[in-house]
Homo-oligomer: A and B are copies of this chain.
Amino acid sequence: MLKPRSVAIIGASRNPEKVGHVIFKNYVNAGYPGRLYLVNKSGEEIEGTQTYKSILDIKEGIDLAVIAIPAEYVPAAMEECGRAKVKTVVVVSGGFAEVGRQDLQDKMVGIAEKYHMPTLGPNCLGVMDPRSRVDTLFLPTYKLSRPSIGGVSFVAQSGAVGSTVLDMISSEGFGLSKFISYGNAAHIDEVDVLEYLLDDKETKVIILYIEGAKRGKELVKIARRISLVKPVIVLKGGKTFEGQQAAHSHTAALAGSYEAYLALFRQFGFTIANDLSELLHYAKIFSSEQQPSGPRIAIVTNGGGAGVLTADAISSSSFLKLGKFSTATEKTLRKSMPVLVNIRNPLDLAGDADYLRYKEALGAICGDGNIDMVVAIALFQTPGADSKLAAELIRIKGDSKKPMVVLSTGSDYTRMHKIMMESSGLPVYDSPAAASAALEALYRYSEYKKAKKQGKDPH
| Interface of A toward B, CB cutoff 8 Å | 19, 99, 138-139, 142-145, 156-168, 170-171, 209, 211, 235, 237-243, 245-247, 249-251, 274-277, 301-309, 311-316, 322, 340, 342, 344, 346, 348, 351, 379-383, 385, 409-414, 430-433
A309:B167 contact, CB within 8 angstroms:
no
* Complex Cα gap A303–B162 (Å): 10
Which chain B positions have C-beta within 8 A of A383? 19, 138-139
Per the bound structure, the CA–CA distance linking A243 and B274 in Å amounts to 25
Complex CA–CA separation, A400 to B412 (angstroms): 35
A379 → chain B closest CB, angstroms: 5
Q: Specify which chain B residues have a CB less than 8 angstroms from the CB of A348 in the assembled complex.
A: 246, 249-250
> Beyond the given A99-B340, A250-B308, A275-B431, could you list 6 further A-B residue pairs with CB under 8 A, ordered by the A residue number?
A139-B382, A143-B385, A158-B305, A168-B409, A247-B308, A276-B430
In the assembled complex, the Cα of A145 lies from the Cα of B167 at a distance in Å of: 25
Check B144–A344 contact: CB distance below 8 A.
no
With known contacts A348-B249, A382-B163, A312–B409 Cβ distance under 8 A: no
Indicate how many identical chains form the complex.
Answer: 2
Task: Return 9 A-B CB contacts under 8 Å, by A number.
Answer: A99-B340, A160-B351, A211-B305, A243-B309, A246-B311, A246-B344, A246-B346, A250-B307, A275-B432
Q: Are A160 and B277 touching (Cβ within 8 A)?
A: no
B306 touches A167 (CB 8 A): no
Which residue of B161, B315, B379 is within 8 Å of A163 (Cβ)?
Answer: B379
For A322, the chain B residues whose CB sits under 8 A away are: 242
| Distance to closest chain B CB from A222 (angstroms) | 22
Report chain B residues within 8 Å CB of A412. 145, 171
* Contacts A307-B246, A409-B167 given; does A240 touch B143 at CB 8 Å: no
CB A338 to nearest CB in B, in angstroms, measures: 10
State the CA gap A238–B346 with chains docked (Å): 12
In this complex, what residue of B is CB-closest to A414?
B167
Chain B residues whose CB sits within 8 angstroms of the CB of A165 once the complex forms: 409
